[in-house]
Amino acid sequence: MAEKKVIDARGSFCPGPLMELIGGIKMVEIGDEIEVLSTDKGSAAEIPQWLKKVGHEHLGSHEEAGVWHVNLKRSK
């Protein structure tokens, strides 16, 4: 497995963290892990929803000093 890719989407209103992830997930291999950093609280909810819909694995989320860290694995 490759080193975890970090998508730093802090301060991104447009395109926004989920869109950054949608673009970025195609740049890693199946089985690779990604950590999305976001200052948008809504992303902490909508990213896991999208992962579930598409079929990627949500590994967990946590908030630290106003930054949400959403961890996932590309599954397909």
Partner 1 sequence: MKILVVGGGMGGTILANNVARTLKEELKSGKVQITMLSASAQHMYQPGLLYVAVGRMTPNELYRDQASLLEPGIQFHVDPVETFMLDANQVKTKSGKTHSYDIMVIATGSRMWPDSIPGLKENAEFFYTEESAVKMFHRLRQFEGGKIVIAMGVPHKCPMAPLEITFMLNEYFIERGIRDKVQIHYTYPIGRVHTLENVAKWAQPEMDRVGITYETLFNLKSVDGEKRVLHSEEGTEVSYDMLISIPAHKGMEVIENNKMGANGWIPTDRHNLNMEGRTNVFILGDTTNIPISKAGSTAHFEAETVGANIAAMVRFGAPVRKYDGKVFCFIQTGSEKATYAMFNYLQPPDPKAPTRAIHWFKLAYNKLYWISARGLL
Among all residues, which ones are annotated catalytic? 14
Q: Residues 75, 57: contact at Cβ < 8 Å? A: yes
Looking at 16-24, 57-65, 66-74, which segment touches partner 1 (CB under 8 A)? 16-24
Q: State both tokens at 46.
A: 């909508």
Residue 48 binds partner 1, judged by CB under 8 A: no
Contacts of 58 (CB under 8 A, 6+ apart): 47, 48, 51, 52, 70, 71, 72
Q: Which helix (H) or strand (E) holds 34?
A: strand 33-38
Nearest distance, CB of residue 45 and partner 1, angstroms = 10
Residue 64 binds partner 1, judged by CB under 8 A: no
Nearest distance, CB of residue 2 and partner 1, angstroms = 12
Using CB under 8 A, list all residues that contact partner 1: 7-20, 22-23, 26-27, 42, 46, 49-50, 53-54
